[in-house]
């Protein structure tokens, strides 16, 4: 098995077990938050804590590396390539304003998963050209979201376009809630990510189950 096939096999195993992509955020302790996500069934965790100091991020990411290993889950680091390497994460997620995917691939080597955010058709076309370097794409924000207040919502049509034209797995993200998850799933993304709906939930496992069960209604 090639290193690329190995990366993508790990990713596929994780999202087939649970197609909900978890991202950290909110006011809760990160380790407690992620443990609840993992106990709720999520098997892909992205550590995204831009407002914290490098040292705090390092220690939290180390703790999450141990925790995700315990649950057999993937740990993805948002933006910080150096942090992903330092804690031996499974992957790194980059945006349009970060280093090009080919450069990131050269830095992290061939074993690490790379995700790339996309926001328009031209981004998907670029992602297809970079398919040797990246392993999945983020698609969004679908709806207006407090997580990215200045981002322009791309709508459901963009999810549909990505599902039909991307050669890579897709993660729909941005303003997704229990009440609109069925509409998003209907456009056939590989995974969905509902950040605040999960991180702010009093009963997280119930929310994850409800988001997950929406797949049964449309697939």
Q: Which residues are catalytic?
A: 48, 117, 148
- What the block records as the tokens of 61 is 């990411």
Cα–Cα distance for residue pair 103/194, rounded to 1 Å: 29
Distance between CA atoms of residues 41 and 77, nearest Å: 19
Q: Which residues pair with 196 in a beta bridge?
A: none
Angstrom distance (rounded) from CA 214 to CA 210: 6
Q: Inter-axis angle of helices 121-129 and 156-165, to 10 degrees? A: 20
Of 79, 77, 133, nearest in space to 105 by CA: 133
In the sheet that holds 170-173, the strands lie side by side as 22-23, 44-47, 74-78, 91-94, 113-118, 136-139, 170-173, 191-193
Question: Distance (Å, rounded) from C-alpha 169 to C-alpha 103?
Answer: 21
């Amino acid at each position: 098995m090639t290193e690329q096939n190995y990366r993508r096999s790990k990713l596929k195993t994780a999202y087939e077990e649970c197609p909900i992509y978890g991202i950290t955020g909110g006011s809760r302790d990160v380790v407690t938050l992620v443990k609840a996500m993992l106990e709720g069934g999520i098997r892909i965790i992205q550590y995204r804590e831009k407002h914290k100091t490098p040292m705090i991020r390092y220690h939290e990411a180390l703790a999450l590396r141990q925790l995700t290993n315990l649950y057999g889950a993937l740990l993805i680091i948002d933006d910080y390539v150096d942090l992903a390497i330092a804690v031996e994460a499974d992957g790194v997620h980059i945006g349009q304003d970060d280093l090009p995917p080919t450069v990131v691939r050269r830095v992290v080597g061939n074993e690490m998963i790379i995700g790339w955010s996309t926001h328009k058709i031209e981004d998907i076309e670029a992602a297809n050209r970079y398919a040797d370097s990246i392993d999945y794409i983020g698609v969004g924000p679908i709806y207006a979201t407090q997580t990215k207040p200045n981002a322009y919502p791309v709508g459901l049509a963009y999810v549909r376009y990505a599902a039909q034209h991307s050669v890579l797995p897709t993660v729909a993200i941005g303003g997704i809630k229990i009440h609109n998850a069925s509409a998003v799933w209907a456009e056939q993304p590989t995974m969905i990510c509902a950040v605040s709906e999960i991180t702010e939930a009093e009963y997280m496992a119930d929310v994850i189950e409800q988001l997950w069960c929406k797949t049964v209604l449309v697939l």
